[in-house]
């Protein structure tokens, strides 16, 4: 059996200091209090204060033990076992700010590995896999004891307190020696188990290596790989290129979408500056050469030269805008006034007239084309570039021959009156005429009139009246 030296225990050769010539390679310390590990005088145990003289002796012996433990651990392959107890201090009666604890002899070790001990309510514990494989696995697992001290710090845990998830037994590899902290199970029945564990602990091969907590990346690792790795890497690269291309295309689409949404808002409900910005953008989309200065837009297309001015108003555009446009054209270009009249209203609800009578007359006399911003917007939606020809050829208000959203001008009352008058002439067709009236009512709500060939044949006179309107 390997020789064991102990302080304040009955395990091995019990001493109060470590002899310099001691051949023991295993030391067990039971630091139940600051005095018990350095003196055999039981009268000093369990005291909270010591006289100045007594305190000085205990402090000196503690410092000496600290030095002895440091020397012991500096030797090759030494085992220090510490039986855990709560942290306890003894005060100097004359100078109570001076204290000595039951762990001061191990202070350097505590500081190096950031060890902190905490008293906990009695708890059961679980032995870790590392603890089970260690020489102290039987000592920790053979008996069902409660523990009252846990620890935090840098170490390899041997057992963990249940509920608290804190170590109650752990091991530290210190230089070429090892320090083991264990719960104090020193009943007669388990002293033999502890002695057996101490003998095994001295042989380094009985200790499992701690599991690596970090991965390594040696250069040679790249030499070995699965055959499919290269194939997947190539495929991944291709997919990433496709994703990048799609992301770039999506970014372009998003930019165009954002620009169109801004243009839609600006042309239908924007300010003077917003409207001219929108028109400039749309002319560029049509391939025109555009030059803007302030709220005035000049553009050219082949031999066509135009000056665009915008009118944004809550009512109708008035005469002064036409006079300004004539000055801007200077007889060298066609004047075009894009009018956003009644801009607070939904375009479907706006009056058909966008300028005052005086401006309408002035425009016809001075070869100025007037167009509602909504008609211009519809032409852009339909990509009807022939609108430019209409603006070049016509004067006054220009109404394009296409319509996406503009409502019918016939009133519901007029249509209903005509149908009723026809119904009075032929009572036999009352039911059919009622159905026709219902379709007309529904169609006007949608802004579209549709009749089937069968209905046209049964109500020729009705259709003629509608076409005339």
pLDDT tens for each residue of 342-356:
988 998 888 989 999
Give the pLDDT band of residue 95 (cuts 50, 70, 90): confident
Render pLDDT for 283-301 as a digit per residue (tens, 0 to 9).
888 888 888 888 888 988 8
**What does the pLDDT average to over 82-102?**
89
For the chain, the average pLDDT equals 81
- Looking at residue 271, its pLDDT comes to 83
Render pLDDT for 149-187 as a digit per residue (tens, 0 to 9).
999 999 999 999 998 889 999 999 998 899 999 998 766
Residue 458 pLDDT > 70, yes or no?
no
Token duo for residue 368: 């100025």
Give the pLDDT band of residue 466 (cuts 50, 70, 90): very low
Whether pTM > 0.85 for this model: the answer is: no
Cα radius of gyration (the chain): 50
- Looking at residue 414, its pLDDT comes to 38
Render pLDDT for 62-73 as a digit per residue (tens, 0 to 9).
999 999 899 889
Spacing of C-alpha 49 from chain mean position: 58
Give the pLDDT band of residue 423 (cuts 50, 70, 90): very low
- Looking at residue 186, its pLDDT comes to 60
**What does the pLDDT average to over 397-410?**
64
CA angle 465, 468, 469 (to 5 degrees): 90
Look-up of token digits 């494989």: 133
- Looking at residue 447, its pLDDT comes to 40
**What does the pLDDT average to over 200-207?**
90
- Looking at residue 1, its pLDDT comes to 53
Which distant-in-sequence residues (6+ apart) come within 8 Å of 105 by Cβ?
A: 31, 37, 38, 62, 63, 65, 66, 69
Top-ranked range on mean pLDDT: pick from 143-147, 253-257, 330-334 = 253-257
- Looking at residue 412, its pLDDT comes to 33
Residue 444 pLDDT > 50, yes or no?
no
């Amino acid at each position: 059996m390997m020789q064991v030296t102990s302080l304040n225990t009955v395990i091995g050769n019990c001493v109060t200091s470590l002899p310099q010539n001691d051949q023991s390679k295993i030391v067990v310390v039971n630091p139940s209090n600051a005095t018990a590990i350095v003196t055999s005088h039981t009268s000093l145990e369990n005291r909270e204060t010591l006289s100045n003289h007594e305190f000085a002796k205990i402090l000196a012996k503690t410092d000496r033990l600290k030095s002895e433990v440091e020397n012991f651990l500096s030797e090759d392959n030494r085992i220090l076992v510490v039986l855990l107890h709560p942290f306890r201090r003894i005060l100097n009666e004359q100078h109570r700010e001076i204290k000595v604890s039951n762990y001061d002899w191990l202070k350097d070790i505590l500081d190096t590995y950031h060890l902190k001990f905490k008293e906990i309510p009695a708890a059961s514990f679980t032995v870790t896999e590392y603890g089970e494989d260690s020489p102290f696995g039987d000592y920790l697992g053979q008996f069902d004891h409660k523990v009252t001290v846990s620890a935090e710090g840098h170490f390899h845990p041997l057992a963990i307190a249940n509920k608290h998830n804190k170590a109650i037994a752990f091991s530290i590899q210190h230089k070429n020696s090892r320090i083991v902290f264990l719960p104090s199970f020193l009943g007669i029945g388990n002293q033999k188990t502890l002695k057996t564990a101490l003998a095994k602990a001295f042989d380094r091969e009985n200790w499992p290596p701690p599991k690596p907590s970090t991965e390594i990346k040696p250069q040679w690792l790249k030499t070995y790989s699965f055959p499919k790795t290269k194939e997947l890497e190539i495929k991944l690269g291709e997919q990433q290129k496709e994703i990048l291309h799609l992301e770039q295309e999506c970014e372009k689409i998003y930019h165009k979408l954002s620009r169109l949404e801004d243009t839609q808002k600006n042309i239908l409900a924007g300010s003077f500056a917003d409207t001219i910005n929108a028109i400039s953008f749309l002319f560029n989309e049509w391939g025109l050469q555009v030059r803007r200065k302030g709220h005035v837009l000049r553009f050219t297309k082949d031999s066509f030269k135009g000056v665009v001015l915008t009118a944004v108003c809550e009512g109708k555009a008035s005469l002064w805008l036409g006079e300004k446009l004539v000055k801007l054209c200077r007889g060298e270009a066609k004047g075009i006034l894009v009018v956003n009249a009644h801009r607070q209203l939904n375009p479907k609800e706006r009056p058909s007239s966008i300028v005052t009578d005086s401006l309408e007359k002035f425009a016809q006399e001075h070869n100025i084309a007037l167009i509602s911003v909504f008609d211009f917007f519809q032409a852009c939606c339909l990509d009807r570039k022939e609108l430019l020809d209409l603006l070049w050829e016509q004067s006054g208000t220009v109404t394009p021959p296409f319509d996406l959203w503009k409502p019918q001008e016939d009133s519901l009352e007029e249509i209903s009156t005509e149908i009723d008058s026809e119904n009075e002439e032929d009572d036999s067709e009352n039911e059919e005429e009622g159905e026709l009236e219902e379709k007309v009512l529904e169609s006007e709500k949608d802004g579209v009139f549709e009749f089937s060939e069968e209905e046209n044949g049964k109500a020729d006179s009705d259709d003629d009246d509608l076409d005339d309107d």
